[in-house]
Amino acid sequence: MATYPTEITQKVLRDNVSISNHTITVNIRNIEIEISKLKKEFGGYRLITQDTSSAEARMTQFVRDAKQSQINERQEFIVFLRALLEKRQLGAIQ
């Protein structure tokens, strides 16, 4: 189930009208940096979980899975924000 709207409707545009395009663009850049950091952490956890026999590795697997969920959620948010910007720009052209 998607956390963010998959279609940018007039209602979505109205609900987000108070957020400037500049703010959205800055948020996208910040989230991309955040995702990059999460991916680095995820890679480190993956190395630790290669030793699946230890209790630490099993706990690390849990943390690694949570990091992947965070990455996925942040990527979904970027998709939404980009779609919102695109729809706004199309509306400005018409």
Residue 15 tokens read as 């609900």
Would residue 10 count as lying in a domain?
A: no
> In whole angstroms, what is the distance from residue 24 CA to residue 3 CA?
17
The answer to whether the predicted template modeling score (pTM) of the entire model surpasses 0.75 is yes
Would residue 7 count as lying in a domain?
A: no
Long-range contacts, stretch 10-15, CB < 8 angstroms, 24+ apart = 12/84, 13/84, 13/87, 13/88, 13/91
* Average per-residue pLDDT for the chain: 88
Would residue 51 count as lying in a domain?
A: yes
Q: Residue 33 sits in which domain range? A: 20-93
Whether residue 2 has pLDDT greater than 70: no
Mean pLDDT of 50-66: 78
Whether residue 46 has pLDDT greater than 90: no
Residue 52: band (very low, low, confident or very high) from pLDDT cuts 50, 70, 90: low
Mean pLDDT of 55-75: 87
Would residue 2 count as lying in a domain?
A: no
For the chain, the domain total comes to 1
